[in-house]
Amino acid sequence: MSAARPGAGRAETQALLLAERVLGLVRARAASAEAEVNVRTGTLALTRFANGVIHQNVAEELREVGVRVALDGRVASARLDGPAGDDKLRALVEGVFEAAAVSPVDDDWPGLASPTPSPDVDHWDDATADASPDERAALVASFVSAAEGLVTAGAVSTAAVHAAFASTAGQAVTGRGTSADIDGIARTGTSDGVARHSSVRVASLDAAAAGRRAARKARDGADPGDLEPGRYEVVLEPSCVADIVDFVLVHGFGGRAVHEGRSFVRPGEAQLDPSVTLRQDVADPRLGGLAFDAEGTPRRAVDLVRDGVTGAILHDRRTARLAGAESTGNAALGPNPYGGVPASLILEPGATSPASMVTSIERGLLVTDFWYTRVLDPKTLVITGLTRNGVWLVEDGRIVRPVRNLRFTQGYAQALGPGNVKAVGDDPTLFSHGPDDQLLVPSLHLASWAFTGGAKG
Partner 1 sequence: MYDVATAAVEAALSAGARYADARVMESRSEVMGARDGHVEQVDRGERAGVGVRALIGSSWGFFAIPDPSPAAGRQAGQRAAAIARASTRVAGPPVELVDVPSVTGSWASPCEVDPWSVPLDEKASLLEGVTRTMREHGADTALATSNVWETRKWLVTSEGTRVDQHVRECGAGMNATAVGDGETQRRSNPGIRGQFGTRGWELVRSLDLAGNAARIGEEARALLTAPQCPSLDATDLILGSEQMALQIHESVGHAVELDRILGWEAAFAGTSWLDLAQLGSLRFGSDLMRITADATLPGALGSFGFDDEGTPAAAIEIVRDGTWVGVLAGRDSAAVAGLPYAGAVRADGFNRLPMVRMTNVGLVPGDSSLEAMIAATDDGIHMDTNRSWSIDDRRLNFQFGCEIGWEIKGGKRTRMLRNPTYTGISPRFWGSLDMLGGPDEWTFWGTPNCGKGQPIQTGHTGHPSVPARFRGIRVGVRG
Measured from the CB atom, the residue of 92 and 314 that comes closer to partner 1 is 92
Task: Enumerate long-range contacts of 373-378, CB under 8 Å, 24 or more apart.
Answer: 373/243, 373/247, 375/247, 375/251, 376/409, 378/251, 378/257, 378/262, 378/263
Using CB under 8 A, pick the residue from 51, 114, 204, 359 that binds partner 1.
Answer: 51
Residues 36, 114, 66: CA angle, nearest 5 degrees: 15
Q: Where are the beta strands (DSSP E) in 72-191?
A: 74-81, 151-167, 172-187
Phi, psi of 11 (to 5 degrees): -65, -40
Least CB distance from residue 21 to partner 1, whole Å?
Answer: 17
Sign of the alpha-carbon torsion through 224, 227, 229, 230: negative
Number of residues that bind partner 1 (CB under 8 A): 94
Least CB distance from residue 195 to partner 1, whole Å?
Answer: 11
Residues 134-163 that bind partner 1 (CB under 8 A): 134, 136-138, 140-141, 144, 151, 153-155, 157
334 sits near partner 1 (criterion: CB under 8 A): yes
* Listed residue (405, 413, 365) closest to 385, CA to CA: 405
Q: How far apart are CA 23 and CA 352, in angstroms?
A: 52
Q: How far apart are CA 355 and CA 361, in angstroms?
A: 10
Binding mask 281-320 for partner 1 (x = CB under 8 A): ----------------------------------------
Q: How far apart are CA 161 and CA 437, in angstroms?
A: 12
380 sits near partner 1 (criterion: CB under 8 A): yes
322 sits near partner 1 (criterion: CB under 8 A): no
Cβ atoms of residues 241 and 253 within 8 Å:
no
Residues 354-373 that bind partner 1 (CB under 8 A): 371-373
Least CB distance from residue 222 to partner 1, whole Å?
Answer: 16
* C-beta atoms surrounding 440 within 10 Å: 24
Stretch that binds partner 1, among 25-33, 164-172, 292-300, 333-341 (CB under 8 A): 333-341
Least CB distance from residue 256 to partner 1, whole Å?
Answer: 9
Residues 100-129 that bind partner 1 (CB under 8 A): 100, 102-104, 106-108
Residues 8-47 that bind partner 1 (CB under 8 A): 44, 46-47
Least CB distance from residue 57 to partner 1, whole Å?
Answer: 5
C-alpha dihedral (94, 98, 101, 105), degrees to nearest 10: -90
Residues 53-92 that bind partner 1 (CB under 8 A): 53-64, 75-83, 91-92
Residues 185-214 that bind partner 1 (CB under 8 A): 185, 187, 192, 194
Binding mask 235-274 for partner 1 (x = CB under 8 A): -------------------------xxx------------
C-alpha dihedral (241, 243, 245, 247), degrees to nearest 10: -150
Measured from the CB atom, the residue of 151 and 270 that comes closer to partner 1 is 151
* Listed residue (18, 342, 20, 339) closest to 171, CA to CA: 20
398 sits near partner 1 (criterion: CB under 8 A): no
52 sits near partner 1 (criterion: CB under 8 A): yes
